[in-house]
């Protein structure tokens, strides 16, 4: 049993002293082609509860992110379900309020470390929308929320993901990934290497279990998506370094392990 509350146009659900924001869940227009295996993706894909649940399950305990739960995971009364349907829509899911987290409960208490781990994690998740609009600071430590932009089929290719990061930055939504390299240092590089080791510890069995828990329609697709990204995380982070490292640091080759083709930012990726 919980309590539904409407505050400043946002719907909250409060249960056992935990506050969740209730978000409308849209079924994505995600259709695998029979021959090309391509997907047609509309923007409603980015309010798809299972995506946020997958990211949450893989990230809790590894990075500073909030918990996300699907409707069937909450002990809703009939009255609460009817009220939420009236306020939010026929399908919805729950995202824990970031401001409720305590610094001591987070896996990373140091802000710079927290951001470095998030950079690596969000590269795996292909989450381009992880900037200041989706961060809450708890005693100066960042906690990320709203993972709806993750696992976009259009961003599975790392160079397309880079283009999306750049497009977002051009419209004022600067990713934590881009910002992390603005004042890059050996210390930040060491953080990235530790975070890469963390990601590489994610097993295929864990990925399959988590995806099966969160997603029943496209479980196979997203399990394959994640497994591939985990397996190539070293190369992907090297590409990020080559793309975003400031020019004045380019003389220090120990901080640059690869570079990306110039045509990537010339919009010639196919």
More confident site: 13 or 255 = 13
d(CA 66, CA 64): 7
Q: What secondary structure does DSSP assign to 32-75, as a single string?
A: E-TTT--EE--GGGGG-HHHHHHHHHHHBTTBSB--EEEGGGS-
pLDDT at 179 over 50: yes
Separation between Cα atoms, residue 119 and residue 240, nearest integer Å: 10
- pLDDT tens-digit readout, 116-157: 999 999 999 999 999 999 999 999 999 999 998 999 888 999
Question: Band of the pLDDT at 25, cuts 50, 70, 90?
Answer: confident
pLDDT above 80: residue 45: no
In total, the chain counts a number of residues equal to 270
Q: Which long-range contacts (CB under 8 A, 24 or more apart) does 81-85 make?
A: 83/4, 84/4, 84/11, 84/13, 84/22
Give the number of other Cβ atoms within 10 Å of residue 172's Cβ. Answer: 9
DSSP bridge partners of 10: 7
| DSSP SS3 for 146 | coil
DSSP 8-class letter at 207: H
Percent of the chain exceeding pLDDT 90 equals: 73
How far is residue 28's CA from residue 197's CA, in Å, rounded to a whole number?
A: 33
pLDDT at 256 over 60: no
Which region among 69-73, 80-84, 246-250 has the lowest average model confidence (pLDDT)?
246-250
What residue has token string 């290719």?
157
- pLDDT above 70 covers a percentage of the chain that reads 84
Residue ranges per domain, the chain? 3-266
Q: What is the mean pLDDT of the chain?
A: 87
pLDDT at 183: 87
**Rounded-to-integer distance, Cα 164 and Cα 126, Å:** 10
pLDDT above 80 for 90: yes
């Amino acid at each position: 049993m919980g309590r539904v509350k409407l505050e400043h146009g946002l719907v909250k659900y409060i249960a056992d002293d935990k506050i969740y924001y209730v978000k409308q869940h849209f079924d994505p227009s995600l259709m695998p082609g029979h021959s090309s295996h391509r997907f047609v993706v509309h923007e409603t894909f980015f309010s798809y509860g299972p995506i946020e649940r997958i990211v949450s399950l893989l990230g809790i305990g590894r990075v500073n992110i909030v918990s996300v739960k699907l409707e069937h995971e909450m002990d809703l009364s009939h009255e609460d379900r009817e009220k939420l349907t009236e306020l939010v829509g026929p399908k919805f899911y729950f995202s824990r309020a970031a401001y409720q987290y305590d610094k001591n409960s987070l896996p990373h208490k140091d802000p710079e470390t927290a951001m470095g781990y998030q950079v690596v994690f969000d590269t795996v998740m292909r989450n381009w929308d992880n900037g200041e609009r989706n961060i809450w600071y708890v005693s100066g430590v960042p906690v990320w929320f709203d993972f709806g932009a993750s696992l976009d089929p259009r961003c599975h290719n790392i160079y397309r993901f880079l283009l999306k990061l750049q497009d977002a930055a051009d419209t004022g939504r600067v990713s934590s990934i881009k910002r992390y390299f603005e004042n890059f240092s050996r210390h930040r590089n060491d953080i990235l290497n530790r975070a890469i080791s963390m990601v590489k510890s994610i097993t295929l069995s864990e990925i399959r279990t988590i995806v099966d828990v969160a997603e029943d329609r496209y479980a196979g697709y997203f399990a394959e998506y994640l497994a591939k990204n985990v397996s190539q995380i070293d190369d992907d982070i090297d590409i990020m370094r080559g793309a975003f490292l400031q020019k004045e640091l380019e003389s220090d080759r120990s901080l640059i392990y690869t570079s990306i083709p110039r045509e990537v930012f010339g919009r010639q990726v196919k």
